[in-house]
């Protein structure tokens, strides 16, 4: 897993397509793209100087409340998929993160996730100050 | 797995949440909802008098080219999730299917998938006449 | 999901193979068999008069500490897999459960899981009296 | 994904535990260990100078016909799991591969898979000469 800063607030992570992720059509099954989004998001947050597991340990959870994905070109077993993740916006208690998946120079898929800020029991909560400051720093 | 016709072109399927589908937050992981959409879609197509596997055998594939999901209320291990699937529209070489997930009377999530019609190698193709007629019959 | 008592302490559950569970070879990916074991086990425990989620709620966890599976015949998308689950033995703080998977009359796979009894934090613990009695009743 | 030669015929690959791979107990779900075995195996075969996808392209498939895993210590979200894979033996038309999973210096799990050599349709076949020679070179 390699994380490369490709723009002010955009980060790239590489994941090889696992055999487990392929399907009967001989390509990666579409739901797995959301898992790759998760891998990209985890590394994006780590690059902000915060590990998501530490946010949870401190009582801040970021459940996905909306997801969208467009599939442009199939990816296959053993392909190296580059996951570009970027902060789109934080508005009130909502965080939007964007994703682009590439194999070589080809854009294979793009999408976004929207996250709420909640406590462990799922109740809306204010994000940690450290998190807001880290996000602000890259969004400005 | 029970399929019940609940409206002119809407069908319901029940799936219990598997332990494998839960995550660290103690709820079902969000990518699994797309898999439940797939289970609902398979049963919806079967209710049209066509098994999706037979479509593939006849050379018609329906890859997902776009997906959207809103998560309204978390679902948990062993919950019985009712997957309501319905044909939204067929326009040219695109098919749109909608989904609503319920636990009891509570709407837990809703979304849609858009599908292309392709042959085995992923090239756009016309849908089978039998498929178009079956879809037309319920959309009109 | 239908559970049928097929022998003194053996129960059957049917699961259709999901597209998500297939792979590049056009068959179900081998790791998914362990998930089907889990589905069978959940229904087996329910037939004992106990829901596994209630055991966890009461503080008893049954993590898998060993698993074995032999794959005899590939299963494919949309196949109806019958999962036969049966209690093999309980010795001290270990529970062994066996599984046979059938498509039609053909034995497709067989295996077992061994479980520890632990509390929420993973420390070994004595199983609940209600659980031991329910297991004893069918093993004798 | 880093592959390091740690012994004559043993190779290590690192995978971070994904959120998708965790479950309700707050640890990695046991079936995912088989997927990590697959990732380790893919890299092990690549280190032999062969990519598994090229073997399949040449008509040689290695379906799993038996799997075993012992779980010694739970692994958690974001842990870096080192997957050590090693060739155990090739006998006739059977190949046995072993695995050890470590988090830091702690052995978390160990297991093996046994593979058949088949053609695309699942019929037993002789392995490619290049494959046999590559395996022989490290097993001797």
Please report the pLDDT score of residue B70 as a whole number. 98
CA distance C34 to C97: 12
Confirm whether D79 is a catalytic residue. no
Helix, strand, coil in percent for chain A, rounding step 5: 25, 40, 35
ipTM over 0.90: yes
pLDDT by residue, tens only, chain D of 140 residues: 444 333 467 899 999 999 999 999 999 999 999 999 999 999 999 999 989 999 999 999 999 999 999 999 999 999 999 999 999 998 888 999 999 999 999 999 999 999 999 999 999 999 888 888 888 888 86
Per-residue pLDDT tens listing for chain C (140 residues): 443 333 467 899 999 999 999 999 999 999 999 999 999 999 999 999 989 999 999 999 999 999 999 999 999 999 999 999 999 998 888 999 999 999 999 999 999 999 999 999 999 999 888 888 888 888 86
The C-alpha atoms of residue C70 and residue A50 are separated, in whole angstroms, by: 43
Cβ contact D23:B19 at 8 Å: yes
Q: What is the pLDDT of residue A30?
A: 98
Which residue is associated with the tokens 């060739």? D87
- Residue C78 in contact with partner chain A when CB distance is under 8 A: no
CA distances from B63 to A71, B114, C18 (A): 9, 8, 15
Dihedral angle, C-alpha B54, B57, B63, B69, nearest 10 °? 20
Point out the residues of B that are catalytic: 23
pTM to 2 decimal places: 0.94
Q: Which residues of C106-140 are buried (b: 16+ CB within 10 A; e: fewer)?
A: eebbbbebbbbbbeeeeeebebbeebeebbeebee
Termini Cα distance of chain B? 28
What is the pLDDT averaged over residues B45-60? 93
Instruction: Give the C-alpha separation, B95 to C91, whole Å.
Output: 55
Taking chain A, what is the end-to-end CA distance rounded to the nearest angstrom? 28
Which of C30, C31, C68 has the CB atom closest to D68's CB atom?
C68
The pLDDT of residue B3 is above 70: no
A77 touches chain C (CB under 8 A): yes
Taking Cα atoms as reference points, which of A46, A19, A17, A13 lies closest to residue C26? A19
pLDDT at D8: 61
Contact D22 B20 (CB under 8 A): no
Nearest to C38 among B14, B18, B51 (CB): B18
Using CB atoms, which chains have 3+ pairs under 8 A with A?
Answer: B, C, D
> Under DSSP, is residue D35 helix (H, G, I), strand (E, B) or coil?
helix
């Amino acid at each position: 897993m390699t994380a490369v800063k490709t723009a002010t607030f955009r980060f790239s992570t590489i994941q090889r397509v696992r055999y487990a992720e392929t399907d009967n059509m001989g390509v990666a099954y579409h739901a797995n793209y959301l898992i790759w989004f998760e891998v990209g998001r985890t590394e994006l947050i780590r690059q902000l100087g915060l590990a998501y597991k530490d946010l949870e340990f401190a009582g801040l959870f970021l459940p996905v409340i909306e997801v969208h994905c467009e599939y442009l070109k199939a990816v296959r077993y053993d392909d190296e998929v580059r996951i570009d993740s970027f902060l789109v916006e934080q508005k009130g208690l909502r965080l939007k993160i964007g994703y682009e998946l590439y194999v070589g120079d080809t854009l294979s898929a793009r999408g976004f996730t929207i996250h709420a800020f909640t406590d462990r029991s799922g109740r809306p909560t204010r994000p940690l100050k450290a998190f807001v400051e880290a996000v602000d720093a890259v969004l400005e």
